[in-house]
Amino acid sequence: MSILKGIYRFLSSWRLTFWMVALFILYYLTVAVWSEEAFARFIGMLSENSTVKALYLVFLLNVTLRLSGSLWTMRKRPMRLVLSLPFYAGVVLFLFSSFMSVNVRQLQWVLLGEGQVLKLPWERELFRVVKVESALKRDLLRMDDSSIFDYEPYITLQDRGGRLHRVGAFPPKRVGVSYMHVLNFGLAPGVEFIRDKEVLLSGQVALRLIPFGSVDSFQLGQFNYKVYIHIIPNRIIRRGKEVARSYDITSPLYQVEVIKGEKTLFEGTTDREINFDGYRLRFYSPSYWIMLEAARDPFYIPFIVSLFLVLGGGIFYLIGLML
């Protein structure tokens, strides 16, 4: 019995709280010197590292026991106990739901274009992409200080019941049992690879060409041709010292380089078609693609509730301290 009491006193001691907090601060400051992603790295370790999980659970138990003990000492002051209870419950729920969310959450990134079907492993429902709303104007001007996007990109999904779900970048939207939001937006140039009159390859190629000037590449199927491509201005407008670049999204002007092995077969600009090695590569109007992040997190709502309890309950807790 004395051993159990000793373990309880240790787990509920303020010294353990102090050393656990000090250990986290030491870790954070040490890692922050070498990396700007100290907190993100901690979250990663909390989901993968057994030692970090064990330390976190010890800290959670320590906080729970200490707060429970504090409530027990308030039993003769019922008003203060009632005012403190929401804040204490919020702190414990916040620590618990954060841990469970990190370890139970399922996450998937999906590249989607119009007409494609979204199937998530944890979702019974199928969703069809009926519309991708562009983040860019059709005819746009860009200067050195211009923003990358003109609008917030949206994707519209349709479930089997015909219901439409419009998902943007922020905040995440509940669709089925998932939370979704748009991570990125881009262009998918339409291409045809032709020999004589035979179309060997045809389709949309999702590339990272935004911001304009970004170089991306794609392989022409089983053929040993690699195509490097980026978008250049359709025209340049000069007004005094100011320079503006005009882009036509429906018919972009591409800087293209075609390589086979170490040999460059073509290098130049086009908005329609290039010829190399007896083949033709034809470009037509690009479509849009969306990078969608979808997550299933059963503890998302408890986490949000804990934030309200901590923030709202904190006010009542401070009132209780003044009684």
What per-residue confidence (pLDDT) applies to 144? 72
Same domain, 85 and 120: no
Tell me the backbone φ, ψ of residue 172, rounded to 5 degrees: -60, 150
Q: Is residue 312 part of a domain?
A: no
Whether 214 is in a domain gets the answer yes
- Looking at 105, 137, 158, the residue that finishes a domain is 105
Q: What is the pLDDT of residue 33?
A: 62
Cβ neighbours of residue 104 under 8 Å, at least 6 residues apart? 297, 298, 299
Q: Copy the structure tokens of residue 306.
A: 């804990």
Nearest to 208 by CA among 233, 183, 225: 183
**Rounded Cα gap, residues 308 and 89, in angstroms:** 11
Tell me what percent of the residues of the chain surpass a pLDDT of 70: 98
Per-residue pLDDT of 73-95, as tens digits, reads 888 888 988 999 999 999 999 99
Question: What's the pLDDT at 190?
Answer: 94
132 and 98 together in one domain? no
Residue 284 · residue 202 · CB < 8 Å: no
Instruction: Give the count of domains, the chain.
Output: 3
Quote the DSSP letter at residue 246. Answer: E
126 plus 101 within the same structural domain = no
The tens digit of pLDDT for each residue in 294-318 reads 999 999 899 999 999 999 998 888 8
Q: Answer whether residue 59 is part of any domain.
A: yes
Question: 201 and 165, same structural domain?
Answer: no
Distance CA 96, CA 61 (A): 10
Distance of alpha carbon 52 from alpha carbon 146, whole angstroms: 44
Instruction: Look over the chain and give the mean of its residue pLDDT values, rounded to a whole number.
Output: 90
Residue 151 is predicted with a pLDDT of: 84
Structure confidence at residue 35 (pLDDT):
66
197 & 276 share domain: yes
Q: Provide long-range contacts, Cβ within 8 A and 24+ apart, for 182-185.
A: 182/152, 182/153, 182/154, 182/155, 182/290, 182/291, 182/292, 182/293, 183/109, 183/291, 183/292, 183/293, 184/290, 184/291, 185/134, 185/135, 185/149, 185/153, 185/210, 185/288, 185/289, 185/290, 185/291
DSSP 55-97: HHHHHHHHHHHHHHHHHHHTTT-HHHHHHHHHHHHHHHHHHHH
158 found inside a domain: yes
Among the candidates 55, 82, 105, a domain finishes at: 105
24 and 89 within one domain: yes
Q: Minimal CA–CA distance to 271: which of 215, 231, 213? A: 231
Contact 285, 55 (CB under 8 A): no
Does 302 fall in a domain?
Answer: no
| Coil/strand/helix, residue 132 | strand
Give domain status of residue 154, yes or no. yes
Based on the fold, state whether residues 148 and 62 are members of the same structural domain: no
For range 32-61, the mean pLDDT: 85
91 in the same domain as 152: no
C-alpha distances in angstroms, 244 versus 125, 147, 253?
A: 46, 13, 16
Give the domain range for residue 12: 2-105
Domain's final residue, options 61, 80, 105: 105
Query: Is 6 within the bounds of a domain?
Result: yes
Record the tokens describing residue 21, joined without a space: 């907090």
Query: How far is the C-alpha of 219 from the C-alpha of 202, rounded, in Å?
Result: 13
Residue 129 exposed, middle or buried by CB count within 10 Å (0-12, 13-18, 19+): buried
pLDDT in tens, 207-216: 999 988 899 9
Same domain? For 133 and 214 the reply is no
The predicted structure's pLDDT at residue 36: 61
The residue that leads in pLDDT, 11 or 158, is 158
Give the CA distances from residue 115 to residues 44, 155, 156, 269, 292, in Å, rounded to whole numbers and listed in that order: 35, 11, 11, 30, 15
Q: What's the burial of 186, exposed, middle or buried (CB within 10 Å: 0-12/13-18/19+)?
A: buried
pLDDT for residue 1 is more than 70? no
Indicate if 254 and 234 belong to the same structural domain. Answer: yes
